[in-house]
Chains A and B, each alone.
Chain A
Amino acid sequence: MSLESFLQTMVFGVFVGGIYGIAAMGLALVFGVLKMLNIAHGELLMLGGYVSFWAFATWGMDPFVSLLLTIPALFLVGLLLDRVVYRHIVRLEGEDKIKNSLLVSFGLTLVIQNMAQWGFTADERAIPTTYTGAGLNLAGVTLPYTRLGSFGIALAVTLLLHFFLRRTYWGKAILATAEDWEAAELVGINIHRIYMMTFALGASLAAIAGTFVIITYGISPSIGIIWTLKALVVVVLAGTGSILGAFPAGILLGVVEAVSGAFIGSTYREVIGLVIFVLVLILRPQGLFTRK
């Protein structure tokens, strides 16, 4: 393999990893704060992709611009889901909570998926932009504009989230609730409002990832579960307490998949990801990006 094609593989791995990172960050945020696993996270991602597609099909809106629409749309969906479904699960404790969150969110997966099939048909949708296929060429390595844009936004969103969590009162209240909800209640934080906002924020992150997916690949109603699993692998890689660590962990998974795909054959790409998943669970169960 030539150096150029190796670099090209790496670069694509990083780009794909950026999408993994954003997809996983929403899942990690909800898991870290609400302490429940939202299997329907991939479904929210899929809905986000469809909102972008709808904005494109109706007004010819550029998918990057349509983020301004997609993010608030899924924020609302998140608020609604928290009100109607998840707030009843968050009240539960320990094993009941994790069991019920798995069951309910898996059920929700099926509901959303079927609704999407009924509403948008099972056809795969993609958004062709005028600059799809075009890109920068750096020393023989192609950097497509769509992927470059996605990665740049993913990076910016990660930094914004970091700033929000560490510097604002709301963000600190979210971190405090994640750490110890009883102590958070003691200092007067309304934890149910924090849960609601966090869930909606997680849905918004899924929406961003969904937009990247429809730009990069394409979207159909059945893709949700695939992305939930990807995100789950990344969350475990990062360490379940690490929200922002999901981004570097996503990039790592993307690069490893791309490189192993190139050397071993792309049929084994998914396998390699899962092998790493198992290895991390055995050797470093607290994750790669947590301080202990």
Chain B
Amino acid sequence: MILVPEGRKLFGSLTVMENLELGAYAKRAREKRAQTIEKVYALFPILADRRDQQANTMSGGQQQMLAIGRALMGLPRLLMLDEPSLGLAPIIVENIFEIIRFTNEQGMTIFLVEQNARQALDLAHRAYILEQGRIVGSGTGTDLLNNNEVRQAYLGYTPVDEGIT
């Protein structure tokens, strides 16, 4: 179980490669780190191009990719992502979500906390809505996407029936 924290928490003065290597610090992951790093580079080719660059000189989106890549280096069975879209441009967010979907399809269980409701629900097999710390709704991602209350509260639809106006 590995967490990609909000705000990423990379080692800014170290290189991309060093960040990834440190992601595999745990003994079980360290033995396989040569193979894992190739997988991560295949998933994020930009990280391979910039392997010797200092982490804090990269853009926000690239840093987010590195944060996810570093977490994957630890060979987690469950990957927890806290607000991966925070502070990123919409196009980059799109990209990050695409990678999350792909990683999930590769068999990784993902636990995602995200305020970007539409894209998160689009992705989720199972979703929970939290309001002030309590679960106020749950269901499959598509269920919630089609639920009227959810659409009004989180997805920006007005109560007026769309067909009328």
Contact = CB atoms under 8 A, between A and B. Distances in A.
Partners in one complex: yes
Contact of B25 (A179, A180, A182, A187): A187
A169 B130 CA distance: 41
Interface in A143-176: 169, 172-173, 175-176
A171 to B, nearest CB: 10
Contacts of A183: 5, 9-11
A172 B74 contact: no
Interface residues of B, number: 19
A186 B25 CA distance: 10
A187 B74 CA distance: 7
A189 interface: yes
A265 interface: no
Nearest to A241: B13
A188 interface: yes
A204 B57 CA distance: 35
Contacts of B23: 187
B9 A180 contact: yes
* Interface size bracket, A side: 10 to 19
Contacts of B114: none
B22 interface: yes
Contacts of B93: none
Interface in B1-18: 2-3, 5, 9-14, 18
Given A187-B22, A187-B25, A188-B74, A172 B14 contact: yes
B34 interface: no
Interface string A187-220: 1110000000000000000000000000000000
A176 B14 contact: yes
Interface string B78-104: 000000000000000000000000000
B23 to A, nearest CB: 5
Contacts of B29: 188
Q: Which of B10, B11, B12, B29 has the most CB of A within 10 A?
A: B11
B72 to A, nearest CB: 12
Contacts of A188: 25-26, 29, 74
Contact of A176 (B2, B3, B22, B30): B22
Contact of B3 (A172, A180, A184, A186): A186
Nearest to B23: A187
B21 interface: yes
A215 to B, nearest CB: 36
A187 B71 CA distance: 7
Interface of B: 2-3, 5, 9-14, 18, 21-23, 25-26, 29-30, 70, 74
Interface of A: 169, 172-173, 175-176, 179-180, 182-184, 186-189
